[in-house]
Amino acid sequence: MKALRLYGPNDLRLEEVPKPSISDEEILVRVKACAICGSDVRNVAAGGSGHGFSLPRIIGHEISGVIEEVGSKVVGYTPGMKVVLGVVISCGICIYCMKGHPNICIHKEALSYQYDGGFAEFVVVPNTLVKQGGVMLIPEGISFEEASITEPFSCALNGQELSNVSLGDVVVVIGAGPVGNMHVMLAKARGAYNVILSEVNPERLKMSMNIGLADHYTEPSKLKDLVMHSTGGIGANVVLVAAPSGEAQVQALDVVAPRGRVNFFGGLPRGKSQIQVDSNMIHYREVFVHGTSDSTFLQMKKILNLMATKRLDAKKLITDIVPLDKYEEGFAKARSGSALKVLLVP
């Protein structure tokens, strides 16, 4: 089969490798679409990840496909089922797993990291992922392309549940990349009445305006004036930072309302993860600050249900579908900022 394997920094190779075999507790999925995540771009540049990464590795974790083979001891699944795959494989016994937070499992592993991922014609679903419910059926009416971005949507949902985006909220999203636009769409679905999208890249801002998901669009230099004008000088109820920018994180604290919620959704680059803030802004205004890491399978199922009922239109966020053998073109688009979600299809 064809597979895209990472060997080192910027050393990504499309190779012919043996079709994988499965154990009696695993599932083999024929990949129909696998979306490029920002973490894929970073991992290619770095030649791996600090989260545990053995090389060479078939990367790609935003996967949809059709079940090709089912191990003899697997129940509930049959060949031909259309599925989307979870990513995080949790231990099930650490304190965070026991509390219902497998996404921050102390011993977590993941497809594309410790296990081969989906930039290939086939992917093996490890037995633990099968048993934990990480193979989810795609509802009728959802394409493989739409289903492939269930996982990043669910990460955005995790952030919004942590920050309690609610009916009637004024929500600011900083960063108009793929996940930023997912945050906008989700905030509207959760009942936010005014969603403001801020972006430093004029091309991405224009692209987002053409999609037309938010209520207002602005550049960072004009964000505070817009927020204060829109809220009578109070500030936003929720600010979601969907950009790897320390400046954006600082700005979020400047435009949030007293007792508002700030979510640092986008991690910062290594060596640049320190920011300087006036902690009194948090203390005296009772501001709540959260981070977000990954998601749960339950959140993925919620996203699939929202897609199925047309409350989320994932098609609007897919700008490019590229054949696997033209992966260089796909990654170039993902790196350039001129695209939103880029999918590779075998």
- Residue 71 is part of which domain span? 2-137+313-345
- Report the domain count for the chain: 2
* Within a domain: 300: no
Closest by Cα among 311, 329, 333, 304 to 86:
304
Residue 143 lies in a domain: no
Instruction: Return the amino acid letter for 151.
Output: E
Q: What are the pLDDT digits (tens) for 284-334?
A: 999 999 999 999 999 999 999 999 999 999 999 999 999 999 999 999 999
Same domain, 81 and 169: no
Note whether 12 and 86 are same-domain residues.
yes
- The answer as to whether 129 is a domain residue is yes
Asked if 163 and 282 sit in the same domain, the reply is yes
Instruction: Give the chain's residues under pLDDT 70.
Output: 50
In-domain check, residue 151: no
At residue 140, what are phi and psi to the nearest 5 degrees? -60, 145
Q: Are residues 84 and 35 in the same domain?
A: yes
CATH number for the domain that contains residue 223: 3.40.50.720
**Residues 329 and 244 placed together within one structural domain of the fold:** no
For residue 50, the model assigns a pLDDT of 66
pLDDT digit string (tens) for 175-209?
999 999 999 999 999 999 999 999 999 999 999 99
Same domain, 286 and 325: no
Same domain, 220 and 331: no
pLDDT of residue 192: 98
Spatial contact of 35 and 342, defined as CB atoms under 8 Å apart = yes
Q: Based on the domain organization, do 163 and 271 belong to the same domain? A: yes
Strand arrangement, sheet containing 170-174: 216-218, 194-198, 170-174, 236-241, 256-264, 288-291
Residues 70, 168 within the same domain: no
304 falls within a domain: no
The reported pLDDT for the residue numbered 49 is 76
Q: What is the CATH classification number for the domain harbouring 115?
A: 3.90.180.10
pLDDT of residue 268: 86
Whether residues 178 and 66 fall in one domain: no
Report yes or no on 39 lying in a domain: yes
Pair (72, 113) in one structural domain: yes
Give domain status of residue 174, yes or no.
yes
Q: Do 127 and 163 sit in the same domain of this protein? A: no
Q: CA-CA distance, 57 to 113, in Å (whole number)?
A: 7
